[in-house]
Structure 1
């Protein structure tokens, strides 16, 4: 985390680590990757198919959801997502353009700013498209970042600094709509990922 940037809480998710397939493009990734993208991993509750899934407005909601894992399933993790203050207006506008006046956890949090807290895991580059949050790992940006920028992930599959995340986001946005780039409709931005660890749903604020 940088000292010259503040972060605004966007929301919480309760889900699992992504286990990358054994392929050539994943060779630089750890066995388990922290992600808040529904493109890569599963979140709780499993049967929640509303337009707000997988996002939770409050920590208590996310913690309660994390305890809904099926018997015998691996432990779910509660993650808080922070957006650099300089990117808040842009993300809020994108969400508002998509959802209109309907309530959404991310929009609610961004319009009533709070700070994310927890153990810093790193930065994920997310791409917003009509309510869905893609990960930079979905579009082979990992290989480009490695080859062109010399950027590598940490042991959680995330980027260590906001500067690196901005570099990747800028690279992805500059190539949108080109044959070798990402879809024109996806706008990329950095997100700070923090983990809350195991919490008792009855003990959260």
Structure 2
């Protein structure tokens, strides 16, 4: 068994691990969306997931190993998605109805398998917040990419933090129930999920991606230094 989460991590035992992933928080702006410099989500929309193909992993070690041959942003972090047990059924049903290949998610969440509880997730992570997700035709969507944020803010009085995440389980439950009662979203079963983050930067054999241009050498010809 993988070592348990430290006791100070506030994650109930009735949560199941969906899987691990590596992502880079992104700046988010736009009409009808929360404004944040570090949007964090488990969905396939709005932020970069690494690697782009096969971005779900069964263990933290597998996720980190997959990033070693990549050139990874210094902002990339390891995450785990946890789903309340009572909401797993709808998530799994949508995966099976889509007929897509999700071996990691199904291995963890299928009621016929041995679901891994939140207490069996690797140690040293910390919960950063909740979001509302839905699976549709091979993609895990967030409620933010379905133009629901402004309506949710007005109808339910919910708000998101600096990461675009909901503050607690109750807020996520309300948004999921409200989204499922609507008829103008993607044909998905919306469910609440909690995100666990690890602070350690992702290691890469290629080193982190740099955004600052290299300083030109004084020995270079002037015309090379300005190109």
Q: Give the TM-score normalised by the residue count of structure 1.
A: 0.81
Give 1:126 deviation, angstroms. 0.5
Partner of 2:219: none
Distance 2:12 2:80 in 1: 20
- Residue 125 of structure 1 contacts residue 168 of structure 1 at CA under 8 Å; is this kept in 2? yes
The one of 2, 10, 14 equivalent to 1:6 is 14
Find the counterpart in structure 2 of residue 109 from structure 1: 108
1:38 alignment partner, SS class: coil
Rounded to whole Å, the distance in 1 between the matches of 2:102 and 2:150 is 37
In the alignment, which residue of structure 2 is the partner of 1:134?
141
Higher strand content, 1 or 2: 2
Q: Is the 8 A contact 1:19 1:32 kept in 2?
A: yes
Task: Report if the CA contact (8 A) 2:180-2:189 is conserved.
Answer: yes
1:190 equivalent among 177, 189, 192: 192
Residues 52-71 of structure 1 mapped to structure 2, 5 A cutoff: 53-70=54-71
1:55 and 1:87 mapped to 2: Cα distance? 19
CA contact (8 A) 1:15 1:41 kept: yes
Higher CA-based Rg: 2
Q: Which runs of 5+ in 2 are unaligned?
A: 1-8, 204-227
1:38 is aligned to 44
Give the one of 3, 17, 26 matched to 2:25.
17
SS in 2 for 1:19: strand
Alpha-carbon RMSD across the aligned residues, in angstroms, is 2.4
Q: 2:182 aligns with which of 175, 178, 192?
A: 175
> Does the 8 Å contact 1:5/1:85 carry over to 2?
no
Corresponding residue for 1:86?
Answer: 86
Q: Number of residue pairs matched?
A: 187
Q: Distance in 2 between matches of 1:2 and 1:84?
A: 13
Runs of 4+ in 1 over 3 A off after TM superposition: 1-5, 66-69
Q: CA deviation at 1:133?
A: 0.5
